[in-house]
Every structure is written in C-alpha cells, then in structure tokens.
Amino acid sequence: MTTSQLLYSNENGWQNASKNEVKNPQLILLFGNGDYFKTSSYGDLKKLYPQSNILGCSTAGSIIGQRVDDITVATLVSFDQGRIKIVSADFDTAEESMPTAKKLAQELNSEDLKHVFVLSDGLNVNGSEIADGFNEVLPEGVLLTGGLAGDGVDFAQTYVVANDVPKSKRVAALGFYGDSLEIKSGCFAGWDEFGAERIITKSKGNILYEIDGKPALELYKSYLGDETKDLPASGLKFPIAIRKDLTQEPLIRTLLAVDEETQSLTFAGDIPEGFHCRLMKSNMDRLIDNAGLAAEQAYSRTKENSLCIAVSCVGRRIILSQLVEEEIDAIEEVIGKESTIAGFYSYGELAPLVGFSECALHNQTMTLTIINEN
C-alpha cells in the first residue's frame, strides 16, 4: 500500500503535498470545507484521476499530517492486493436512516469483506440508527467506523461525495476486501464526569425531557452556572455520558439545542429512556492524552507506513482551540512519522467501544481507523 496527499487552493488548484505521488490510486479520500463542495471543483479532481474511487465529505476542519485547518485535502491510496467498493444512497428524512444503512450493508456484504468505513450527512440523519442498521446486517467480525460530515461551526448544510457530485442527505460506505488488509480502530474521549449519576425518565429519540422526573433543561442549567447565558453554544463544553447500566462504558452525547418552552435538551444522538446519565466537562490534558490512547488501541507496532484516518469531534476542536494540533501530535508519537494521517472534524463519530464489536455513534471522541497491507 502506498499513499500520497494533495492540497487544494483556489489560486493553484490541486498541488502535491507529499514527498512521493501515487499515480493511479484506487481510492481517494476527500475532506474539505463546505465552500469547496458548493463549487464544481470536485470535477477537477475527477478529471485528474478519472479511474479512481472518490469518497469524502465536508468538515468542521481537515487533518493532513500534524496540521488541522479549514482546508481541502485529498489522500491518494494504492493497494497492492486489497480491493475496495463504494456504495451510496440518498434519503429524504432522518426516519430513513436505518433502512438506508441496511441497504448499503447488504450491497457491500461478501465473504472477504474486512471492514466498512461510513460517511454520512451530519445534520439530517439519525447517526445512532445508521450504526444500528449496519450492525444488523454486517457479518460477525466485520467492524464499522466512520463519521458524520461537518459544516464548520455553521451547522447549516453538509455534503458527502461518493463517485458523484457532492450532495446533502446522503450516506456512503466504503468496503475493504482481501486477506492482505489489516484494519483496526480506536475510540477514546478524555472528558471528566461530574455530579450525581441520574436516570433518564422521559425522552424521545435525541430529545431529553426529564431526568429523575425533573425538567431536563432546569437540571442541566443548575450545573452550568454563568455558562447558562451562552446556551446552547456553551453546551459543547458540557456533554453528557449515557449508559444502559453501570457495567458499560458510557457513550457521549453533545448538546445541539435547548427548548425553554418544553424545558428539553436536544442532543446529537439518541438518549434512551431508562439509561443512566451524568454530566461531563473538558480536561485539556486528558483530551490530548486520549487521542494517543486511541492510537495505541488501533496501531499494530509491527507495521510501518500505515494509513490513519482520524475522525475527531467539532467540540474537541473548539475546546482545544490553539492546542488542537497537539491531539494529532499524540497520534503521530504512537504510529510514527512514516505513517500517513488524514481525516476531519465531524458532527459525530462512528466506532466500536473498547471491548465491543458493534459500532455506535459517539460525540466528543477521537476515533481512528488504521489501515495496513501485508
């Protein structure tokens, strides 16, 4: 497997950003800002590599090597023996999330399927049901990772590319095939839990109405103090941890909106009734350290020249601010400078938790997919 990377600018178009250049890539991963996807620039990349499979999305920041910026990056990948297949489907409403995911999983399913990487619209979809749909169909041992497209901090419109012009309300999936491929994932957060463990007593989908029988917004505000005046934006600093029971690792959910009339909170993923929940707050050092832990989980130390696809959360970029590249540094310290790092800041991450095989939707995590070829 060989890789190289390109950077796009309005002035110069696509320019090589690597020491080498892959001439005939089977796969191009494309991550960039929304403005790029609103133009016809995608056609320029397709003209350069007409035979290549192109998969990508708009982002809340792109990653190339140790750099994080609002840029557009293409990562070119050529496999020695491994094969890939890209499938996609468009949808109208979030209610179609699960059947759409099932359809794509069925299209990819094959005896030699090794891994599936998914990119989805980040605003009009139910990310939890995307994960559940793939989980129901994919055979045991085939893991799923990926992320939800971003739109900076505007949260207006996201785009997905899958061998076609960029489009909203789309889910795309990339299947990896062949025994030569070794693909592992890592997913860690680094947020601190605080306050009492409570029970979700009333919710619907991703809307939380009551905790311990009390209005959710009222209780949430009681923990935030002066930060309440900046809701919902300040909610990025205070996600909640949810778990079915106290023996499970928690899933993290990011606040998207508040409703004063219903005293409800809207999160970026399902909030099931009966689950335990607890508030979380940021810890800069732990956020950075946990990016390194994700790399430790996913990296095979016997391999060199890995491809690392990093999907981190827009909330982490906002919290870390000028320190954001330090979480990429923490990854590189583990996987080495010879490996290629590409990725983006997302509106949701898809990956299995530690010790589990089934994928789930996460917020506020660093999720890595590391690919090697024997």
* 324-353 pLDDT tens trace: 999 999 999 999 999 999 999 999 999 997
List domains and CATH numbers for the chain: 2-188+285-373 (no CATH), 192-281 (2.40.30)
The confidence band for 100, taking pLDDT boundaries of 50, 70 and 90, is very high
* 224-256 pLDDT tens trace: 989 999 998 888 889 999 999 888 889 999 998
More reliable by pLDDT, 135 or 10: 135
Answer yes or no: is pLDDT of 301 > 70.
no
8-12, 69-73, 103-107, 310-314: least confident range: 8-12
The pLDDT of residue 128: 93
> Strands 214-215 and 240-243: what pairing?
unpaired
282: left (phi over 0), alpha (psi -120 to 50) or beta: beta
Say what percent of the chain tops pLDDT 90: 83
* 204-228 pLDDT tens trace: 999 999 999 999 999 999 999 899 9
What is the torsion angle, in degrees rounded to the nearest 10, for the CA atoms of residue 173, residue 187, residue 344 and residue 358? Answer: 20
CB-neighbour burial class of residue 43 (10 A; exposed 0-12, middle 13-18, buried 19+): exposed
57-61, 223-227, 290-294, 299-303: least confident range: 299-303
* 68-98 pLDDT tens trace: 999 999 999 999 999 999 999 999 999 999 9
The pLDDT of residue 355: 63
Answer yes or no: is pLDDT of 366 > 90.
yes
How far is residue 255's CA from residue 268's CA, in Å, rounded to a whole number?
Answer: 6
Amino acid in position 233: A
Q: Give, in order, the Cα–Cα distances in Å from 359 to each of 50, 223, 328.
A: 33, 31, 23
Query: For residues 245 and 234, is the Cβ–Cβ distance under 8 A?
Result: no
* 20-79 pLDDT tens trace: 889 999 999 999 998 898 876 788 899 999 999 999 999 999 999 999 999 999 999 999
How far is residue 185's CA from residue 308's CA, in Å, rounded to a whole number?
Answer: 9
Helices 97-108, 127-137: axis angle to 10 degrees equals 40
Name 370's bridge partners.
184, 308
More reliable by pLDDT, 357 or 149: 149
